[in-house]
Amino acid sequence: MVAMSGGVDSSVAAALLVEAGHDVTGVTLRLWGGPSDSGCCSVGDVEDARRVAAQLGVPHYVFDEADEFEAHVVEPYAAAHAAGATPNPCVACNRHLKFGRLLDRARTLGVDALATGHHARVRRGDDGVVRLLRAVDAAKDQSYVLVGLTQDRLASVRFPVGDLTKAEVRARAAALGLRTADKPESMDVCFVGRADRVAFVEARVGARPGVIVDDTGRELAAHAGIARFTVGQRRGLGVALGERRYVVDVDAPTGTVTVGPSDALLRDAVGLRDLVFTHTRPPADRVLGVQVRAHGRPAPGVLDGDTVRFVAPVARVAPGQVVALYDGDELVGGGDAV
């Protein structure tokens, strides 16, 4: 079974599996019932997936998971922003929908494996352990959003384009005449798209106004809602102090947003919750690459219990951000910052 989003990567993933002689079925998840002007949830994306499947000569089905998406992705996203946190809805979607509900359904139907167009790699070692690795194309690597996949899930997952660069994926799609060959990548949160994230969140959970203070506690200004701020933010603060200031804390219960100089952001550790390992916990003395954004640069650190201790101070990780732990190119686990 191939999860076909209507983009070029999943289109080529399906094509490669057909070429390899597999019995392929394409499936598209209908996730978002509201308006969408971008991302991977539009009516046009479903049609693109259907047309590509027809070009490849494979059956195509649409599974409606809108209620699950609302419950496990959209509602938590809005609630997290209202609580001053910074969630990653793509990680939540992968955990609960693509490699949760869809993989379970695939197994129920007797499917051998679930493939997607993610730029990542899975490798089974001689020891029987399935390892999740970064993609060949480092600039397009998507292993970060796969945090939470464990051995049970990885054993049934395939990433056919993980060994190709993005340019090679597009070239393969063009050679096959696939309609998605030149389709632009989706970069926005699919259910928000180019709409105003703040307006989306506040329409669901209401505005939570409060005050902006400096790092001494001095009140600087009032603000219209904490969903407008995230730790590390520099632009759009609504205060002019003559020098750069960053959001260093968002206190949801009081509605207080604290700003300060860049030095005030520095931390030497971050606590994690819901910590999950791909196979086994890395040794306590192993220096890992700690990545806190989808395409961020990993910082060296060690895992001490449920806390990552950085080798050198880094900018504070916002609560709710996904923290991925790498041993070289291997994703070994991760959790959410607290």
Q: Are 40 and 190 in contact (CB under 8 A)?
A: yes
Q: Are 156 and 114 in contact (CB under 8 A)?
A: yes
Rounded to whole angstroms, the Cα distance separating 147 from 81 reads: 21
Q: Are 144 and 336 in contact (CB under 8 A)?
A: no
- Which phi and psi (to 5°) does residue 204 adopt? -95, -40
Q: Are 192 and 17 in contact (CB under 8 A)?
A: no
Residue matched to tokens 């002007």: 37
Nearest to 270 by CA among 301, 248, 298, 249: 301
Angle between helices 166-176 and 8-19 in degrees, nearest 10: 70
Q: Which of 40, 41, 90, 190 is catalytic?
A: 190
Rounded to whole angstroms, the Cα distance separating 133 from 309 reads: 23
Examine the residue annotation and report whether 190 is marked as an active-site residue of this protein: yes
Residue matched to tokens 């990567």: 9
Identify the helix (H) or strand (E) that includes residue 171: helix 166-176
- Strands 2-3 and 210-214 turn out to be unpaired
Q: Which of 40, 41, 90, 93 is catalytic?
A: 93
Tell me the DSSP string of 15-82. HHHHHTT----EEEEE---S--SSTT-SHHHHHHHHHHHHHHT--EEEEE-HHHHIIIIIHHHHHHHH
Residues taking part in catalysis: 93, 190
